[in-house]
Structure 1
Amino acid sequence: MTYDYDLFVIGAGSGGLAASKRAASYGAKVAIAENDLVGGTCVIRGCVPKKLMVYASHFPALFHDAAGYGWKVGEAQLDWERFITTIDKEVRRLSQLHINFLDKAGVQLLQGRASLIDPHTVEVDGRKVTADKILIAVGGRPIKPDVSGMEHAITSNEIFHLKEQPKHIVIIGSGYIGSEFASIMRGLGSQVTQIIRKDLILRGFDQDIQLEIQEGMINHGIKIIKNTVVKAVEQVPEGLKLTLSGEHTEPLTADVFLVATGRSPNVEGLGLENVGVDIVATSDEGPAYNTMNAIAVNEYSQTSQQNIFAVGDVTDRINLTPVAIGEGRAFADSEYGGNRRVFSHEDVATAVFTTPEAATVGMTEADARSKFGDDGVKIYRTRFRPLFHSLTGSSEKTMMKLIVDANTDKVLGAHMVGESAGEIIQGVAIAVKMGATKKDFDATVGIHPTSAEEFVTMR
């Protein structure tokens, strides 16, 4: 049978863009559909604009620290409107750049919402097209708890477009999105209260990372309310009134309320029921929190329908931009490049751009002890004040940690909290991925004086 395209991709985010361009490079005729700005969550309302906000949030501390080195810095003031407008311009520039890359790669872009009609037919705003293979890469979206008054709350989608800087922002959510925006808004000068359901932020991370970041955020002036949930939200003359339940019951009032309690795969409206694509249910624990459905795939990102595939956050595996890109390229290599391969989800490094920053790769201490036993694991840990702060008077600390298999000497995990943690762990991740031993780390000469050298001098 003859089709309009060899491959039709639904969603022009990180995974869809990577897969479509790689498939086209092998000679496939490819089209991609997108009903929003091209670039996906990462470019439009995620990694890129968030990191620009992170950079901006660090300037007040730098102005303050400069005094310790003899600099006299005058009064600083943030022009919020210019700040937000400049970020939006950069987002749109990058989106157009991705459109140009698609055109250069020979991928046809169809603007509009796409849905599946049958296993080989896609409808895009009333236009039907056919394809031999279909790839779903529509990502995910923020979700809100089913709580009265949640229509007054914003999510990470809207925070980039606030007309005015919040004087007081309340954030619910203990994950990296809530914690990062708490740090950003505090750094920019807003009063910040973060409400979490348990004792610690960043569930699933190594406990030393959880403790260090939470302590650091509190030291930077963020009020963290633990073991508490929001029961209702009400608009009042002073702003938004939050009724609380749990360890803290006194109501809170703020001018902006950010919900960062999780994200859900965008499976609705795709027509999955028309083609027999299976979904798998996952849930976020706790009262009033949503049950989510993700597209079920095998190790080759193939769904239950043989010619339909899915990559990225819509599959709810590891929801990171580089992972979506890797899955998309592995799919294209396997189906069009004559190189059938599986993308590895092991030892994927990640960073949390809070203040202080953290990054990690490999196993946590708890996971390692659970797998190998207490006697089967060695822990190497250091905590120190960075040289930079020897003149600033700041109490900032850096923490580094290695998890080592006691029997093989293999480094199972590396964790860091401190400035440039993401940049440093990216290099360490190569060694962990290659199976380096603690002796390999010890045999590596450190670069002095740097914080990173501590990873090769810990004893």
Structure 2
Amino acid sequence: MNTKFDVIILGGGSGGLAVAERAVSYGQSVAVIDGSALGGTCVNRGCVPKKVMWYAANLAHAAHDASEYGIKTHISGMDWSRLVAGRQQYVTDINHYWANYVKELGITHIQGYATLKSHTEVAVGDQIYHAKHIVLATGSRPIVPPVPGAELGITSDGFFELNHCPKKVAMIGAGYIGIELTGILQAFGAQVTVIGLEARPLELFDEGLSTVLAETLTQQGVELRLGFMVTALSQQDSGIRVSSKDGQHLDGFDAVIWAVGRRPNTDNLGLAEIGITPLRSGVIETDLYQNTVVPNIYAVGDIAGRSPLTPVAVAAGRRLADRLFGGQANAKIDYDLIPTVVFAHPPIGCIGLNETQAKALDTVVTVYETAFTPMRYALNKKGNRTWMKLICAGETEKVVGLHVMGEGADEMLQGFAVAIKMGATKADFDRTIPIHPSSAEEFVTLKRPDRVYYPKINR
């Protein structure tokens, strides 16, 4: 068995596989070490199975709305087992694709978990492997806070192991994972309470977006208990109790889901032995070229701590291989203007600065905002409103931020992201002929700004 390679990658997720695929295209010998099915969190316990569930939830919403369009439907319930079986088969098919594709490319897949022995050596069990370059791409895992009774809750990993839809759920965490899972469960008939220490849902997003999201969740029947510091879970006769620091108790839950963030998988890699000290968060610091402090050792994806998104990990991995093996000495990912989507119900999309960030710019800032009921709900008595915000900077009104929540937000954002990345201005948007009738056309027909901010003199 070969034990010497040009590059060894620890982790068979999105970032690691991106490095491997690109490195092989440059004629390098590559090994990927991972003890789980290839594809990483995204394929196995993240983006892919989540999106399948999201589509199912959308269909549930559509079925409920159909009668007001004159379509006769009868919903007698849902077959959770069938949904899960189909979802898992879809994931398995992707696993098989990667296993076969890696083999076809000539990449060696080593089943197991690696420990660093030096800047050119890793161990898997008793076997030592050697490489000129080592890439760390081990991803991240859900955080479970160290509070009494924490084991009574499950994480997003546990969500994908549920064999039925719980009736009453406490979703602890109002970030993107918590909001996404809340929308799915609520659509399937669960009664969801979102519990968060933060003051508003999606606290790191634009404040206006958070406000509209909170209103939408409440309209959908989700209870919001924010500013609530969870200190314990306990089993009661009525179900699981969630207790707070100030003595409040929320009772009767048959499922509690921890959605309070993720931590990089850097605990058992042998980093200290080779001179790498992660931050307290577990993140491995790198420069913009993915270099760690140790020569020939690199980190990509969630463990590098920048924009923990699958496409970011893929792009970073490809650029790294281009630089190391493709003769592109300056190849690196551009972390500016990365579009982001939260698959809520309805979906949320944003790119660039939020309004608070834009106000700090040393130039005039104009903000355009609108909200309306999309045609999707023309005949429905209760429908989710669409909300949009366009943030522009300078005399040319360069678009520096775009935020949207509503039907189709996930799909429309990609096209606008290209334009904004190219430096589009409000005038460019205005010159674009709108597609009518659509929600996206509102972004190119906005007229007068809602707010204008001027730079502070001698700030």
* TM superposition score normalised by structure 2: 0.95
Comparing 3-12 and 24-33, the one that deviates more:
3-12
Question: The residue matched to 2:102 in structure 1 has which SS?
Answer: helix
Q: Deviations over 1:141-183 (max 9, x none)?
A: 0011121000111000110111221011111101100111111
Question: The residue matched to 1:404 in structure 2 has which SS?
Answer: strand
| C-alpha distance in 2 between matches for 1:68 and 1:417 | 23
Indicate the residue corresponding to 1:370 in structure 2: 360
Matching residue's letter, 2:433: V
Matching residue's letter, 1:415: H
- C-alpha change, 1:3 and 1:71, in structure 2 (3 Å) is closer
1:213–1:354 Cα contact (<8 Å) kept? no
2:57–2:187 Cα contact (<8 Å) kept? yes
Q: 1:456 aligns with which of 444, 454, 459?
A: 444
| C-alpha distance in 2 between matches for 1:280 and 1:150 | 25
Indicate the residue corresponding to 2:345 in structure 1: 355
Question: The residue matched to 2:160 in structure 1 has which SS?
Answer: helix
| C-alpha distance in 2 between matches for 1:366 and 1:327 | 28
Matching residue's letter, 1:85: A
Indicate the residue corresponding to 1:234 in structure 2: 234
Aligned length: 445
Where does the alignment leave 5 or more consecutive residues of structure 1 unmatched?
Answer: 282-291
Comparing 3-12 and 319-328, the one that deviates more:
3-12
| C-alpha distance in 2 between matches for 1:409 and 1:3 | 57
Q: Deviations over 1:64-112 (max 9, x none)?
A: 2211211110123111122122211211111111111211222110010
Q: Share of identical aligned residues, percent?
A: 38
| C-alpha distance in 1 between matches for 2:3 and 2:133 | 10
* Offset of residue 199 of structure 1: 2.3
* Offset of residue 407 of structure 1: 2.2
| C-alpha distance in 2 between matches for 1:250 and 1:112 | 43
Comparing 321-330 and 225-234, the one that deviates more:
225-234
| C-alpha distance in 2 between matches for 1:211 and 1:251 | 24
Indicate the residue corresponding to 1:259 in structure 2: 258
| C-alpha distance in 2 between matches for 1:142 and 1:417 | 26
* Offset of residue 449 of structure 1: 0.7
| C-alpha distance in 2 between matches for 1:439 and 1:16 | 41
1:217–1:356 Cα contact (<8 Å) kept? no
Indicate the residue corresponding to 1:219 in structure 2: 219
| C-alpha distance in 2 between matches for 1:180 and 1:294 | 24
| C-alpha distance in 2 between matches for 1:188 and 1:241 | 23
* Offset of residue 250 of structure 1: 3.4
* Offset of residue 251 of structure 1: 3.1
Where does the alignment leave 5 or more consecutive residues of structure 2 unmatched?
Answer: 448-459
1:49-448 matches, within 5 Å, as 49-246=49-246, 249-281=248-280, 292-340=281-329, 341-372=331-362, 376-448=364-436
| C-alpha distance in 2 between matches for 1:237 and 1:97 | 47
1:404–1:412 Cα contact (<8 Å) kept? yes
Q: Deviations over 1:276-304 (max 9, x none)?
A: 123223xxxxxxxxxx2211111110100
- C-alpha change, 1:80 and 1:3, in structure 2 (3 Å) is closer
Matching residue's letter, 1:274: E
Q: Deviations over 1:399-454 (max 9, x none)?
A: 11110013232100111000111110111000110001110000000111111111
| C-alpha distance in 1 between matches for 2:429 and 2:296 | 45
1:35–1:112 Cα contact (<8 Å) kept? yes
* Offset of residue 3 of structure 1: 7.6
Comparing 56-65 and 156-165, the one that deviates more:
56-65
| C-alpha distance in 1 between matches for 2:118 and 2:199 | 48
| C-alpha distance in 2 between matches for 1:257 and 1:250 | 14
Question: The residue matched to 2:109 in structure 1 has which SS?
Answer: strand
| C-alpha distance in 2 between matches for 1:301 and 1:204 | 25
* Offset of residue 130 of structure 1: 0.2
* Offset of residue 117 of structure 1: 0.9
1:242–1:253 Cα contact (<8 Å) kept? no
1:278–1:304 Cα contact (<8 Å) kept? no
Q: Deviations over 1:333-364 (max 9, x none)?
A: 00001112120000000001111210000111
| C-alpha distance in 2 between matches for 1:222 and 1:397 | 16
Matching residue's letter, 1:279: P
Question: The residue matched to 2:396 in structure 1 has which SS?
Answer: coil
Q: Deviations over 1:355-378 (max 9, x none)?
A: 1210000111110001236xx100
* Offset of residue 60 of structure 1: 2.4
* TM superposition score normalised by structure 1: 0.95
Question: The residue matched to 1:314 in structure 2 has which SS?
Answer: helix
Question: The residue matched to 1:294 in structure 2 has which SS?
Answer: coil
2:23–2:321 Cα contact (<8 Å) kept? yes
Matching residue's letter, 2:289: Y
